[in-house]
Amino acid sequence: TLAAPAIAQSNPKITWRCTSSFPKSLDTIYGGAEVFAKHISEATDGNFQIQVFAGGEIVPGLQAADAAAAGTVELCHTVAYYYWGKDPTWALASDVPFSLNARGRNAWQYHGGGIDLMNEFFHKQGLHALPAGNTGVQMGGWFRKEIKTVDDLKGLKMRVGGFAGKILEKLGVVPQQIAGGDIYPALEKGTIDAAEWVGPYDDEKLGFQKVAPYYYYPGWWEGGPTVHLMFNKAKYDELPENYKSLVRTAAQATDANMLQKYDYLNPTAIKQLVASGAKLRPFSQEILSACFDATNQVYDEIMANNAEFKKVWESIKAFRNEHFLYAQIAEYNYDTFMMVQQRNNKL
């Protein structure tokens, strides 16, 4: 029976816990961790099990990365920009304003050295991070009144996340931190004037169109945010090589799958939202330009004092220029032609 132990070693029994930052109601984004766990379990005949817990079941959603770093759990499924308050470099792993879109971000991550560059940073936090989801560009959120000029932003109380909030603050917005379930009543009562959430599929469940009908786009602070699996680094390092490889393969499949699922679900949702009262509005060029300028100012401020942020952002920025040069040739012209046909009811 010499062969038995060697073979047994190839698929050892392991059970890990994954704490998600998301509630089960966000089924696409929360579901990413379950998709990953299923890939791993099935390929190992159930020997490598990952149990997924919703945000709050083990630790609060916004402490998921801390729990993985501390070894409370072996891994978490989270968005890196939640932790930008520790160091804005975290946010670069996920998304920052006016950065790449989903395809550009993935090109940079998987082939432009982005995953390794971010892990140089994450390893110092006791984490090893792999992309495992993307929402595509998000919407700019729900507004009770139309916003036409930069002046309309002044004094606007908006539920908006950390990095984008910092930029909007420069333009007079008063950022608010409110949990998902409290947004609707706050918009209804007028305690806040606006709120951003995710995109059509997730937003529809919360019914914002009834209380803040103006639905702005694009969410320039999230052109293609990555959702990560973050592993306790010591636990990840201990995995046998075949499990490490399977984890990388399954994470890349999971990453692609979330975007594919959002891309399939969002079109139906946007039509339903419009049918039930949502009024689509593009941010004006004036507003986008002012936000873009304010963003660049924030990047310069951070880079002056943060060498790690500077190193990663300069890598993203260099590829951003290449990506949006290339994308404006065949991709943009193909899409434009097809969209014109769509508008003319020819598809």
How far is Cα 219 from Cα 158, in angstroms, rounded to an integer? 13
For the chain, the distance separating the N- and C-terminal CA atoms, rounded to the nearest angstrom, is 64
| Candidate list 21, 89, 94, 106; residue touching a copy of itself; CB under 8 A | 106
Which residue number, 3 or 307, has a Cβ lying nearer to a copy of itself? 3
Q: Which two tokens stand for residue 277?
A: 């009262």
* Length, in residues, of the chain: 347
CA triple 169-158-163, angle to 5 deg: 50
103, amino acid identity: R
Q: List binders of a copy of itself among 275-294 (CB under 8 A).
A: 280, 282-283, 285, 288, 292
Cβ pair 22, 54 in contact under 8 A: yes
* Binding characters for a copy of itself, 309-338, by CB under 8 A (x = yes): --------x-xxxxxxxxxxxxxxxxxxxx
Longest dimension (CA), the chain: 78
| Candidate list 264, 276, 277, 279; residue touching a copy of itself; CB under 8 A | 264
If DSSP codes are grouped into helix, strand and coil, which group holds residue 214? strand
Which residue number, 61 or 225, has a Cβ lying nearer to a copy of itself? 225
| Candidate list 111, 145, 154, 279; residue touching a copy of itself; CB under 8 A | 111
Q: List binders of a copy of itself among 200-219 (CB under 8 A).
A: 200, 217-219
Residues in contact with a copy of itself, total (CB under 8 A)?
A: 92
| Candidate list 94, 209, 226, 266; residue touching a copy of itself; CB under 8 A | 266
How far is Cα 278 from Cα 258, in angstroms, rounded to an integer? 25
Q: List binders of a copy of itself among 16-75 (CB under 8 A).
A: 39, 42-45, 47
Shortest separation between residue 35's beta carbon and a copy of itself, angstroms = 10
**Interaction between residue 295 and a copy of itself (CB under 8 A):** no
Closest CA to 157 of 195, 130, 120: 195
Which residue number, 83 or 231, has a Cβ lying nearer to a copy of itself? 231
If DSSP codes are grouped into helix, strand and coil, which group holds residue 12? coil
**Interaction between residue 4 and a copy of itself (CB under 8 A):** yes
**Interaction between residue 339 and a copy of itself (CB under 8 A):** yes
